[in-house]
A and B are shown apart, each in its own frame.
Chain A
């Protein structure tokens, strides 16, 4: 189960509001390659993972992604906190504001609501880990795209931190896949699904 520590994993201290940036960064909250999606993906996959080290890894990284979701939400919150009505109208943020005021709601930058279709929990150890490796790369690419748009150091610092975490997680899931490979027959890794098949023939 989960405990909560009343602090962000990495500091977010933004003094300059920016509605346009908030609309883009919100994708890492509720978007297809965002932190909420990552967390739900890993926390869902862990139940049927038959190897404890990998189930443990999915749990620990899934939990860290919740802390990242919190950081992204804090960034969007601080970027929109003191917006004037003029800034809301001029930036295009009015479309989000009309439905949510300044409340945080998980959606992509394009307005697609968060939904489980953005991730898979296939119930196959190899498939799920390869999905996870792809997910970390998609998240990293999204942060690359955000960094091209951001010029404010206050925003760059937490975004760069989050991007670095994706690369570390990719390495860990890659190692998780090596662990799964070790438990299977290298002559044919796909002979059966270790999460489901009870007998090999």
Chain B
């Protein structure tokens, strides 16, 4: 069991709460047709599914 000793974060991220990091406008797909097919204009939010069961 890992115990991250991120002391410096305790002030900014108190316990018993969920935190999603802020997205910044760093990258937008130049090819908007590709973005459309992907389902987002943001490469950072592109998380495709590649799972397979692979049990005979």
Residues of A within 8 A of B (CB): 10, 130, 133, 143-144, 147-148, 157, 160-165, 167-168, 170-171, 173-175, 177-178, 181, 186-187, 189-190
Contacts and interface: CB of A to CB of B under 8 A. Distances in A.
A164 B20 CA distance: 17
B4 interface: no
Given A160-B48, A164-B47, A165-B39, 8 more contacts: A144-B51, A161-B36, A161-B37, A168-B42, A168-B45, A170-B20, A174-B20, A189-B14
Given A160-B39, A161-B37, A162-B39, A177 B49 contact: no
Contacts of A178: 19-20, 22
A171 B45 CA distance: 8
Contact of B49 (A144, A170, A189): A144
A187 B18 contact: no
Nearest to A167: B47
Contact of B18 (A130, A147, A190): A130
Nearest to B36: A10
Interface in B17-49: 17-20, 22-23, 36-40, 42, 45-49
Nearest to B39: A164
Contacts of A163: 39, 49
A189 B17 contact: yes
Tell me whether chain A's interface is mostly helix, strand or loop, or mixed.
helix
20 contacts: A10-B36, A133-B20, A144-B49, A147-B49, A160-B48, A160-B49, A162-B39, A163-B49, A164-B39, A167-B47, A168-B39, A168-B45, A170-B20, A173-B20, A174-B18, A174-B19, A175-B20, A177-B20, A178-B19, A187-B14
B53 interface: yes
**Most chain-A CB neighbours within 10 Å: which of B38, B39, B46?**
B39
A157 B37 contact: yes
Contacts of B40: 164-165, 167-168
B20 A161 contact: no
A177 B53 contact: no
Interface string B8-21: 00000010111110
B8 to A, nearest CB: 15
